Amino acid sequence: MKIIGFESSCDETAVAIAEIDESGRILPLASCVNSQIPLHRLYGGVVPEIAGRAHIENISPLTEEAFKQAGLTPADIDAVAVTANPGLIGALLVGVNFAKAFAFAQNVPLVAVDHMKAHIAAAYVHKDSTKAPKPPFIALAVSGGHTSLYLVSSYTDYKEIGATRDDAIGEAFDKVGRLLGLSYPAGAEFDKLAKEGFALACGKEDATFADYKKSAHFRVQDLRFPSPALSDGSLDFSFSGLKTAAVNLMHRFDQKGEQIERERFAAAYTYEAVEAVATHVKAALQAYEGYPLVVAGGVAANSHLRKRLGEVTAFLKRDLFIPPLSLCGDNALMVCAQGYHELEAGNLAGTDLNASASDSIM
């Protein structure tokens, strides 16, 4: 079976075609992503109106490119999957409308996909089915808009067991990165800067968080941040306090006329952000004996988070699945993957399908 997937929830237009073979393996035939980052960079963040307009310009040529890449025509497609929520409404509507028209014209089934479920489904795209996670598992979705922990009991049944109560981890990196003079989105550059900071603090490359915690830099109080892990017994997070602490710290340095050491700042900030996530992931895994961990979303590309979650899962003797970097950010193969499972579960969308900005997982 061949599925075409469309993604337009934020600032990437993406179209992909996947083949699902008889054993249920999800194999990529084409994956095209058009990033609008250069359009939004000027404003330091995504401008919804610009995003919607760029999606409408890009979606047809990108679809043609996907067919060329796969060596197929629309008549070869058996089903259509589209991200219908959550996201920017004007952006989502472009993909949903295009997908509806495609399904109508080809007379094939249409399935609506939740963007966060799709991020997690990126882990199912694998040639070797033993390397793709199978529910039940715990999933961590970390992106520009989300920091959520899910109990995934089947390919389509998700229960949110922890979430951010305010800013997402990606937003926390992007906004503070901007204050450090990094361009939007700051996540990847922040990652590199923090790496230099950890190396400086520990006097060696590839220092672990345990090394950093023992370092003199960690004990110096001038660059310490509050933990975003809430300690109220829940698995929730609050990243707004971390962000505010960073802004206040910068002001304090400014007032004293001192230059902030960007690398040390980035390392101290990353330490708290990542450690908070690791603490709650560990608690979630301990509550669900034997469950593996799946990590997904743009921030799953963060090298410090990947390494720390590797340590946590190794300590608890659990399997860890993280999609390749190319599938961590927004793409449409992940939409094909979740779309296939929605189709298998009989969750077909009607002709009245609408997009929804809403955060609640479908």
H or E element, residue 149: strand 147-152
Work out what residue 174 binds among Zn ion, ligand KG4, none; the CB cut-off runs from 5 to 8 Å by kind.
ligand KG4
CA distances for 188 relative to 144, 159, 174, 266, 330, angstroms: 12, 29, 9, 12, 15
C-alpha 192: how far from chain center: 18
Q: Which of 133, 162, 228, 298 binds ligand KG4 (CB under 6 A)?
A: 298
Residue 85 as a binder of Zn ion (CB under 5 A): the answer is no
Q: Is 87 left (phi over 0), alpha (psi -120 to 50) or beta?
A: left
CB 4 within 8 A of CB 336: yes
Work out what residue 299 binds among Zn ion, ligand KG4, none; the CB cut-off runs from 5 to 8 Å by kind.
ligand KG4
Q: Which of 59, 330, 334, 343 binds Zn ion (CB under 5 A)?
A: 330
The residue (of 67 and 162) whose beta carbon lies closer to ligand KG4 is 162
* DSSP per-residue letters across 333-349: HHHHHHHHHHHHTT---
Work out what residue 339 binds among Zn ion, ligand KG4, none; the CB cut-off runs from 5 to 8 Å by kind.
none
Q: Which of 31, 143, 313, 338 binds ligand KG4 (CB under 6 A)?
A: 143
The residue (of 103 and 182) whose beta carbon lies closer to ligand KG4 is 182
Report DSSP state, residue 74.
G
Hey, what amino acid is at 323? Answer: P
101 CB burial (10 A radius; 0-12, 13-18, 19+): exposed
φ, ψ for residue 262 (rounded to 5)? -60, -40
The footprint of ligand KG4 on residues 330-359 (CB under 6 A) is 330
CA distances for 156 relative to 61, 177, 178, angstroms: 31, 35, 37
The residue (of 234 and 326) whose beta carbon lies closer to Zn ion is 326
Work out what residue 185 binds among Zn ion, ligand KG4, none; the CB cut-off runs from 5 to 8 Å by kind.
ligand KG4
* Interaction pattern, residues 334-353, with Zn ion; x per rule: CB under 5 A: --------------------
* Interaction pattern, residues 262-291, with ligand KG4; x per rule: CB under 6 A: ------------------------------
Residue 167 as a binder of ligand KG4 (CB under 6 A): the answer is no
The residue (of 185 and 241) whose beta carbon lies closer to Zn ion is 185
Residue 173 as a binder of ligand KG4 (CB under 6 A): the answer is yes
Which of 131-139, 204-212, 322-330, 348-356 is the region at the interface with Zn ion (rule: CB under 5 A)?
A: 322-330
> Could you give the CA distance from residue 140 to residue 151 in angstroms, rounded to a whole number?
9
Q: Which of 7, 167, 174, 342 binds ligand KG4 (CB under 6 A)?
A: 174
Structure tokens at 148: 């959520």
The residue (of 11 and 342) whose beta carbon lies closer to ligand KG4 is 11
CB 253 within 8 A of CB 223: no
Cis ω for the linkage preceding 136 (within 30 of 0): yes
